[in-house]
């Protein structure tokens, strides 16, 4: 899948930076003027060199579930950057029905999928899912708002 947005283009849309920028590229954006139904597909490559693995867990590295949720929230922030005013910051307001289905390990590639299911400015509710090799590894409803 070719990139729609490179990491440099992503950095123009959300304020996160290494080591906390958790979206490596965007492969699909379908932004709708009515916002509801807009969707994004993005990628996060899980590297064995990621600093998180120094402590989570030595000898048995597992990518933390909270960082999967953060990656999903960042992908929603990228999606909402198509609607927001310049320099606004997407903030995570609520996590609902989070489920973690499988471990994410070094060498995995997370596919991050978000669909906007409700929009009332400045609040955005998204149904988000993360996959590795087409297998669902995490899902949650995320409420974000633009500040």
Which domains are seen in the chain, by residue range? 7-146 (3.10.129.10)
DSSP code of 85? P
18-32, 50-64, 84-98, 129-143: least confidently modelled range: 84-98
Alpha-carbon distance of 102 to 135, in angstroms, equals 9
84 has pLDDT over 70 = no
Alpha-carbon distance of 67 to 93, in angstroms, equals 15
Q: What is the pLDDT of residue 89?
A: 76
Q: What is the pLDDT of residue 121?
A: 83
- Residue 56 among the catalytic residues: yes
Alpha-carbon distance of 43 to 75, in angstroms, equals 9
On the 0-12 / 13-18 / 19+ scale of CB atoms within 10 A, 52 is middle
- 128 half-sphere exposure, CB direction, 13 A CA radius: 33
Q: What is the pLDDT of residue 8?
A: 96
Q: Look over the chain and give the mean of its residue pLDDT values, rounded to a whole number.
A: 93
Residue 71 three-state SS: helix
- pLDDT bin (cut points 50, 70, 90) of residue 103 is very high
Alpha-carbon distance of 21 to 18, in angstroms, equals 5
- pLDDT bin (cut points 50, 70, 90) of residue 70 is very high
Catalytic residue among 16, 56, 87, 145: 56
1 has pLDDT over 70 = no
Contact predicate 6/78, CB 8 Å: no
On the 0-12 / 13-18 / 19+ scale of CB atoms within 10 A, 134 is exposed
């Amino acid at each position: 899948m070719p990139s729609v947005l490179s990491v440099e283009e992503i950095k123009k849309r959300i304020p996160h930076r290494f080591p906390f920028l958790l979206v490596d590229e965007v492969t699909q954006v379908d932004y709708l003027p009515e916002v509801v139904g807009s969707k994004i597909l993005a990628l996060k490559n899980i590297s064995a060199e990621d600093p998180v693995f120094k402590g989570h867990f030595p000898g048995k590295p597992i990518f933390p579930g909270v960082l999967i949720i953060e990656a999903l929230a960042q992908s929603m922030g990228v999606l909402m950057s198509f609607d927001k005013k310049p320099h606004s910051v997407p903030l995570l307001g609520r996590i609902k029905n989070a489920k973690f289905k499988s471990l994410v390990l070094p060498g995995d590639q997370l596919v991050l999928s978000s669909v906007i299911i409700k929009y009332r400015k400045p609040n955005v509710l998204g149904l988000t899912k993360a996959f590795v090799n087409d297998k669902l590894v995490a899902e949650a409803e995320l409420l974000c708002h633009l500040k």
